[in-house]
Structure 1
Amino acid sequence: MTLFFTEMWERFSYYGMRALLILFMTASIANGGLGLDDVTSGAIYGLYTMGVYLFALPGGWVADRLIGLKKSVWYGGIIITIGHFTMAVPGVFSLFDGDEAVKETLSGLDLYTFYAGLILIVLGTGLLKPNISSIVGQLYAEGSSKRDAGFSIFYMGINLGALIAPIACSTLAVYDWHLGFGLAGFGMLLGLVQYKLTGHYLDGKGDPPIAVTKVEKDSKKKLTQIAWIVLLVLTVICILFFTGVIGLNAPRLAAASNNIIALVAVLYFAYLVLFGGLDRGEKKKVGVLAILFLFTALFWSGFEQAGSSLNLFAERFTDRTLLGYEIPTGYFQSINSLFIILFAPFFGAMWIWLGRRQLEPSSPLKFAFGLLFLGIGFLVMYFAAKVASSGELAAPTWLILTYLFHTFGELSLSPVGLSLTTKLAPKKYAGQMMGMWFLSIAMGNLIAGRIAGVTSGGTVEGLQQMPQQYLLIVYITVGAGVLLVLLSKPIRSLMGKVR
């Protein structure tokens, strides 16, 4: 219960703010936004969502080596809350709209508080997100049948928060963007309160590593102090750097980050195979993970268009009028979570039913299905873009159908990939292999932001090109899915007995 509600409110804060993020960046200054162009906004969005997954790696290290899982969740939640409230600060000043001096101060303040808030949320999520899941795992004995049920309930908390948040935060953002950001922070604050009040249920779980000797205790204390100082200095540097540099060079930085992640992945897998001390079977399994790394990054680069280009499509080219009322754009961000809640039990039951009849597809085939469903979703968007490029508003059913197929893709790939990573990873590299799974998602999120900048139809020329751009995404994702179907048998042979 403690972890369910903490995670629910953390996801409330994350998805509530994410629903507003690219809309706020691209909104004109006159309408309370930052007035950034689509390419820059998409790059910043990609860098932010990439950072959320990248910082899960040092966040896990801090928990394992220094302060423990429970404290990491607590401090992470505090940093996230401060981040959201930082983004909401200009909303307080907007109460004094009549004062021209305050207006001038506000326009300069907004950029600093925006980047500062994003950086704090990235750092806080890196501490909280990986470690709260680890505590869930500690609640149950190894091999207990309750473990899967516990994670299923926990997963429902994630989607419940993601379902409610875009609706709640977008409703307030209609009046002021910063009210939406503030509500996201208030959600995380509620999560912290209940985490502290019910924390006694976690006694004995997620505690810090035990230092036995005085030398160990002193060393751990100094290392913890250094870690907090480094975190503080890094935050200040990032805020200054982002505010002064990223606004102008975000696309270039996103491209460089993309190349760096790709290079790190190639070098790491090569090192593991050549110098990792693995036997022949383990090398084959690492090879499978390296292959699936590419397809995973490709999947998330399409799926994560939900918060960027598809969000802008809902804002600019979708008829959102219902019974004379204009539905806030962010409401569409709840559709995926609603479909997850509705169809996740069905997919789970379907795999079990097929497994009993020896008909369950292999994991590589499930990956392929995920990419094919993703491609079908973008095929729907091709027709929606044709409507938009003709000068008419598209019906909301186009986006709803797209999210439906994308959800089917997510259910085919995401839980399967997570499970397969734990099965294929060599035991002595299990944590690092999970880190590579997060790295593939980070890379996909970064690419998603870059794609969004050129598929958003922000200019007349861009609008006319939008159908062909979506069709190109269809060719790439469906082509990758078909390729993976053809490669599934060779990949299966490399996996050994693992399905």
Structure 2
Amino acid sequence: MRKEDQFVGKHNAPEDILEFEGPQLFGHPKGLMTLFFTEMWERFSYYGMRALLILFMTAPIASGGLGFNDQTSGAIYGLYSMAVYLLALPGGWVADRLIGLKKSVWYGGIIITIGHFTMALPGVFSLLAENPAAPGQLAAWDLPSFFLGLVLIVFGTGLLKPNISSIVGQLYPENSPKRDAGFSIFYMGINLGAFLAPIACSTLAVYDWHLGFGLAGFGMLMGLVQYKWTGKYLNGVGEAVVAESPAQRDALGRLQKRVWLVLGLVVVLVLLFFLQVIPVDPVAIAGVSNTMIAIVALLFFGYVLLFGGLDTAQKKKVLVIMILFVFSAVFWSGFEQAGSSLNLFAERFTDRMAMGWEIPAGYFQSVNSIFIILFAPFFGAMWVALARKNLEPSSPLKFAIGLLFLGIGFLVMYFAAKIAASGNLAAPSWLVITYLFHTFGELSLSPVGLSLTTKLAPKRFAGQMMGMWFLSIAMGNLVAGRIAGSTSGGTEEALANMPQQYLLIVYTVAGAGIVLMLVSKPIRSLMGKIH
């Protein structure tokens, strides 16, 4: 490896202080509120658009959609949601090595905003066009603006998502007992945005899909304004890399040139795609992407373990992250059915009439967040109470519990799918109960995974290890999108097979939970003093 590739600058982050510095709010650094609201609005934009995405793609052209079939829509959905998290790895690298965590969040938010507004542009063009597209036909700008918007959102989220979580971890001294509580508060911001967005964006989408996309972009814009206004409370955390010698400055300059070169190549590839010089088959790409992600993860962990300059204790902790990566991917492959197959189930096979009004299918995307807000304090209090009695489950065991809850949720969907396969509409309560168990699974696994990654990750790989956590979610999202193409009931054959498809998911995720439960003690021993 060349010397410039080994350069790691010095961050101005208070990682070794014993007490909080700067203003506080309710015993936590005041900067936590800056990150809380930034993440709330970013998640508003993400979940608002996600609630509409697969419904928009499968909607007939005559009703303003794209008219794609289920298999193509599921593949695009999976590739998009995969890429959102896949780019968290280079996003973490860019922050660690080049511009710092704080600027990464800022630039990422700007790119996300532009992406959402790009997806909203066809609505404006349709109003201004002298010769609008004929009924049943797409306008010339519909597909380019749709795919370009998705690409921009992917790049922006890759910069923002892993690094804002890393800033939360750096607000607290090492081994601070308040760190987990800080992440719980931060996680509430995520779910507040995720609760409001599907309702707001789906309501506007009833009138025009592009109004819903535009509102999602406005949400991210609000987050940027708030981030800039209150960024002073971050107290120097997440600042850019400091090159302390001429040699380091030269190395940093060479790294920056390489990044610009890679970005240039990406722009060229995107242009070739839009000019249709490079044909793209979403279904075929999705078919090989899982293998590619697995190879990337294996190479990264192998590099860190063999050439990362870590001591034995650090290598054991990285090994734990590697093991939990696999089980995390399994969990999210089931959980992220919410935006794909379960979203289509709500639209096609759920009785949504209430007092003469048809509830938009996207509203059901808020159910999970409602349950998170209601039950997160209960789960937090439960873990604290168990800890006082030395009965709190270890982090790997919490992962296993999360997988088992997820399996129970899909067992509920098995019975709902049998109702749909018989030709009847399922009651909304089937979806609500499913989301309840999925919420219990998420509360057992997701906040634990975020916090545990910051605890286990070696300092010099902090951003990149957070990127690997999101890479596991990327793999799960891709699988979720691919499954949606076959479990959405878009054809008679798919509808007949839907119950067995859900039962297969039950066997997979619950089986993984049982395996992890059996090996949780050996994993716990690798973690050292970290619980």
Greater CA drift, 296-305 or 421-430? 421-430
Partner of 2:9: none
CA distance 1:420–1:74, shift in 2 (3 Å): closer
| Matches of 1:429 and 1:222, distance apart in 2 | 20
| Matches of 1:243 and 1:402, distance apart in 2 | 43
Partner of 2:71: 39
| Matches of 1:480 and 1:229, distance apart in 2 | 42
Q: Contact 1:93–1:102 (CA<8 Å) still a contact in 2?
A: no
Partner of 2:39: 7
> 1:497 offset after TM fit, Å?
4.4
Pick the structure with more helix per residue: 1
Q: Contact 2:123–2:210 (CA<8 Å) still a contact in 1?
A: yes
Partner of 2:84: 52
Q: Is residue 25 of structure 2 the alignment partner of residue 25 of structure 1?
A: no
| Matches of 1:199 and 1:279, distance apart in 2 | 36
CA distance 1:151–1:275, shift in 2 (3 Å): closer
User: Number of matched residues?
Assistant: 499
CA distance 1:486–1:69, shift in 2 (3 Å): closer
Counting aligned pairs with the same residue, the percent is: 75
| Matches of 1:65 and 1:251, distance apart in 2 | 35
| Matches of 1:214 and 1:271, distance apart in 2 | 28
Q: Is residue 391 of structure 2 the alignment partner of residue 386 of structure 1?
A: no
For 2:281, what is the secondary structure of its paired residue? helix
Q: Is residue 125 of structure 2 the alignment partner of residue 93 of structure 1?
A: yes
Greater CA drift, 144-153 or 405-414? 144-153
Match 1:352 to one of 347, 361, 384 = 384
| Matches of 1:242 and 1:309, distance apart in 2 | 28
CA distance 1:30–1:98, shift in 2 (3 Å): farther
Q: Contact 1:297–1:440 (CA<8 Å) still a contact in 2?
A: yes
CA distance 1:433–1:195, shift in 2 (3 Å): closer
Q: Contact 2:93–2:463 (CA<8 Å) still a contact in 1?
A: no
Q: Aligned runs of 1:371-382 on 2, under 5 Å?
A: 371-382=403-414
CA distance 1:221–1:283, shift in 2 (3 Å): closer
> 1:184 offset after TM fit, Å?
0.5
| Matches of 1:277 and 1:219, distance apart in 2 | 19
Partner of 1:162: 194
> 1:88 offset after TM fit, Å?
0.6
Match 2:115 to one of 74, 80, 83 = 83
Q: Contact 2:79–2:481 (CA<8 Å) still a contact in 1?
A: yes
CA distance 1:495–1:245, shift in 2 (3 Å): farther
Unaligned regions of 5+ residues in structure 2, if any? 1-32
Match 1:408 to one of 425, 440, 444 = 440
> 1:265 offset after TM fit, Å?
2.6
Q: Is residue 148 of structure 2 the alignment partner of residue 125 of structure 1?
A: no
> 1:423 offset after TM fit, Å?
4.1
> 1:223 offset after TM fit, Å?
5.1
CA distance 1:399–1:9, shift in 2 (3 Å): same
Match 1:290 to one of 322, 325, 341 = 322
Q: Is residue 294 of structure 2 the alignment partner of residue 262 of structure 1?
A: yes
Q: Is residue 451 of structure 2 the alignment partner of residue 419 of structure 1?
A: yes
| Matches of 2:275 and 2:337, distance apart in 1 | 25
RMSD value, Cα:
2.8
| Matches of 1:31 and 1:104, distance apart in 2 | 8
Q: Is residue 483 of structure 2 the alignment partner of residue 456 of structure 1?
A: no
| Matches of 1:246 and 1:374, distance apart in 2 | 39
Partner of 2:146: 114
CA distance 1:221–1:36, shift in 2 (3 Å): same
> 1:45 offset after TM fit, Å?
1.0
Q: Is residue 254 of structure 2 the alignment partner of residue 238 of structure 1?
A: no
For 1:160, what is the secondary structure of its paired residue? helix
CA distance 1:457–1:193, shift in 2 (3 Å): same
CA distance 1:461–1:357, shift in 2 (3 Å): same
CA distance 1:222–1:427, shift in 2 (3 Å): closer
Unaligned regions of 5+ residues in structure 1, if any? none
Alignment TM-score, normalising by the size of structure 2 = 0.86
CA distance 1:266–1:159, shift in 2 (3 Å): same
Q: Is residue 340 of structure 2 the alignment partner of residue 308 of structure 1?
A: yes
Q: Is residue 506 of structure 2 the alignment partner of residue 474 of structure 1?
A: yes
Greater CA drift, 368-377 or 139-148? 139-148
> 1:403 offset after TM fit, Å?
0.5
| Matches of 1:267 and 1:101, distance apart in 2 | 48
CA distance 1:478–1:210, shift in 2 (3 Å): closer
Q: Deviations over 1:11-38 (max 9, x none)?
A: 1111100110111111111111111111
CA distance 1:98–1:242, shift in 2 (3 Å): closer
Q: Deviations over 1:122-154 (max 9, x none)?
A: 111111222223333444455556544443333
Q: Contact 1:112–1:243 (CA<8 Å) still a contact in 2?
A: no
Tell me the amino acid that sits aligned with residue 363 of structure 1.
S
Tell me the amino acid that sits aligned with residue 454 of structure 1.
S
Match 1:436 to one of 465, 468, 482 = 468
Q: Is residue 75 of structure 2 the alignment partner of residue 67 of structure 1?
A: no
For 1:408, what is the secondary structure of its paired residue? helix
Greater CA drift, 273-282 or 262-271? 273-282
Alignment TM-score, normalising by the size of structure 1 = 0.91
CA distance 1:491–1:149, shift in 2 (3 Å): closer
| Matches of 2:244 and 2:516, distance apart in 1 | 51
